[in-house]
Amino acid sequence: MSATITEKDIEEERRIPDRSEVKAILERYFVGPLTEEIITRLTDHVSRVVQDRSLWSRERAKFDPSNRRGSGEAWREDLAYGRTRPRSIDMAAWLAASTKGYPEPKPYCPDIYVGTWRDEDPKTAYTWEFAIDGSFRTDESMCAPRILWCVHRGSEPGPKGDDIWLYNARTISHENMTVYDVTPTTLVIQPLYWIDGPLATRTSMYETYRLVRV
């Protein structure tokens, strides 16, 4: 998104989303039972925030993607990608994702990754399974404990330069796999890992994996 703020940007900040728009983002970007009460509650919630500029300012500060909140979630990586200044519909998604009582956000799992892949090296031939619902399985020993996945966009238009995050059941720490290349039939990834917070390439223990779709 351009750093230049236009009149259209301001209009989109101050426009109150209607109920059908709120329902659409809940259906597309969130998982779980969706009731009329939830749709009404979120519609009213975002309306209050849009009309109260002090509330808007507080929520906008929390929305800022530099704090990494919502990274790897579909609403952040798709609907609101690259936006440091939210539109009102982005704010509705943020409020749903950050407030108890709403459905859980969907992980960002682009179709191009979904399916079963195999290491093209016949000496290892590890299998990697990425499901559309965010579940994950592999027989590669370092990543085998991880059972969930999502994508965090690192570039536009991507996907080259994006990261695949692999989580365990606690979803606290994650393995980080940088995407070097992806096509409908091939996937090239470089595993990374976290050391007390900072991200570093673990080149002594990891190598680039070249996968082919099964």
> What mean pLDDT, rounded, does the chain reach?
88
Can you tell me the mean pLDDT for 160-180? 85
Identify the pLDDT of residue 171: 66
Q: What is the pTM of this model?
A: 0.87
pLDDT tens digits for range 109-146 = 999 999 999 999 888 889 999 999 999 999 988 889 89
Pick the range with the lowest mean pLDDT from 41-55, 94-108, 135-149.
Answer: 135-149
* In the predicted structure, residue 3 carries a pLDDT above the cut 70: no
* In the predicted structure, residue 201 carries a pLDDT above the cut 80: no
Pick the range with the lowest mean pLDDT from 139-148, 151-160, 170-179, 196-205.
Answer: 196-205
Identify the pLDDT of residue 203: 43
* In the predicted structure, residue 199 carries a pLDDT above the cut 90: no
- Which residue ranges make up each domain of the chain? 7-105, 115-213
* In the predicted structure, residue 177 carries a pLDDT above the cut 80: yes
Identify the pLDDT of residue 206: 57
Pick the range with the lowest mean pLDDT from 62-71, 105-114, 164-173, 192-201.
Answer: 192-201
Q: Identify which has the larger pLDDT, 192 or 36.
A: 36
Can you tell me the mean pLDDT for 93-98? 97
- For the chain, the three-class secondary structure string (H helix, E strand, C coil) is CCCCCCHHHHHHHHCCCCHHHHHHHHHHHEECCCCHHHHHHHHHHHHHHHHCHHHHHHHHHHHCHHHCCCCCEHHHHHHCCCCCCCCHHHHHHHHHHHCCCCCEECECCCCCCCEEEEECCCCCCCEEEECCCCEEEECCCCCCCCCEEEEECCCCCCCCCCEEEEECCCCCCEEEEEEEEECCCEEEEEEEEECCCCEECCCCCCCCEEEEEC
Of 132-136, 172-176, 187-191, give the range with the top mean pLDDT.
132-136
Confidence of residue 9 (pLDDT cuts 50, 70, 90): confident
pLDDT tens digits for range 12-42 = 888 999 999 999 999 999 998 999 999 999 9
